[in-house]
Amino acid sequence: GNSVTQMEGPVTLSEEAFLTINCTYTATGYPSLFWYVQYPGEGLQLLLKATKADDKGSNKGFEATYRKETTSFHLEKGSVQVSDSAVYFCALSEGSSNTGKLIFGQGTTLQVKP
Amino acid sequence: DSGVTQTPKHLITATGQRVTLRCSPRSGDLSVYWYQQSLDQGLQFLIQYYNGEERAKGNILERFSAQQFPDLHSELNLSSLELGDSALYFCASSSRGGTGELFFGEGSRLTVL
């Protein structure tokens, strides 16, 4: 079945460091890919998305490119801030099955120190 | 604010008991999804309803059931509770014809003692 694998955390960085969180997926068909962020005590919020191969999603300085050849959707940010500390989830939509549900990776905790 | 409302936010109960979690989707959204988030299992899809009918089922235990009412709100019923059912339960909704984005509520934290 479809699945998403993320790099294990926690990831601890100093402010202004470069961030990469790896995400790879296994899917049939052509799913859409998402990054969600969960701040402490809150629900999940959509960070960015890409709906087809070679699309780049971007938001709040974060970027991820849909790479079909490597089945990856790595999240990057050039300069992290303390306020970026959160749990990040990579996800894919089972669009071909028409249910609309999302399959999530296990989440990666990011801690940014001042 | 995602527009998805979940109640209660926190719930503490004992093993063997039954609880009901409630979700109101965003205005106009026909699909409702339930997810369970625990430390060891991550975010697990439980069940989806679309306009009152069950659309997809995931890793939902037989002790759990859900329904979506004509006004589109949904309830997740958890019975014969066990310690391992302690988790954060999220509801999400989506619009028809959207790009697959789900909008999540803030969750209901269930603690079983």
CB-based contact (8 Å) between B113 and chain A?
no
B23 touches chain A (CB under 8 A): no
In degrees, rounded to 5, the angle at the alpha carbon of residue A68 between the alpha carbons of residues A22 and A97 is 100
pLDDT, averaged in runs of 10, over chain B (113 residues):
93 97 95 91 90 91 96 97 96 78 93 96
Say yes or no: B101 contacts chain A, CB-CB below 8 A: yes
Q: What pLDDT was estimated at residue A33? A: 94
Shortest distance, CA A114 to any CA of chain B (angstroms): 27
pLDDT of residue B59: 84
pLDDT at A17: 97
- Note the pLDDT tens digit of each residue in A74-101: 999 999 999 999 999 999 987 644 567 8
Q: Is the pLDDT of residue A20 over 90?
A: yes
What percent of chain A has pLDDT above 90? 75
State residue A42's pLDDT score.
87
Whole-number average pLDDT of chain A: 92
A22-39: per-residue pLDDT in tens? 999 999 888 899 999 999
Are A55 and A68 within 8 A, CB to CB?
no
Q: Which residues of B touch A99 (CB under 8 A)?
A: 48, 55-56
Q: From the list A32, A101, A107, which residue is nearest B42 (CB)?
A: A107
Buried/exposed B29-65: b ≥16 CB within 10 Å, e otherwise: bbbbbbbbbeeeebbbbbbbbbeeeebbebebeeebe
Contacts of B103 in chain A (CB under 8 A): 46
The per-residue pLDDT for A92 is 92
Which residue of chain B is at minimal alpha-carbon distance from A95?
B100
The contact set of A with B (CB < 8 A) is 32, 34, 36, 42-46, 49, 51, 89, 93, 95, 97, 99-107
pLDDT at A28: 84
Instruction: Indicate whether A54 pLDDT > 70.
Output: yes
Cα of A81 to nearest chain B Cα, Å: 22
| B58 touching chain A per CB within 8 A | yes
Contacts of A89 in chain B (CB under 8 A): 43
Gap between the Cα atoms of A93 and A27, Å rounded: 9
Measure in Å the smallest separation between the Cα of A45 and chain B Cα atoms: 7
Which residues have CB under 8 Å from A27's CB, separation 6+? A2, A3, A71, A92, A94
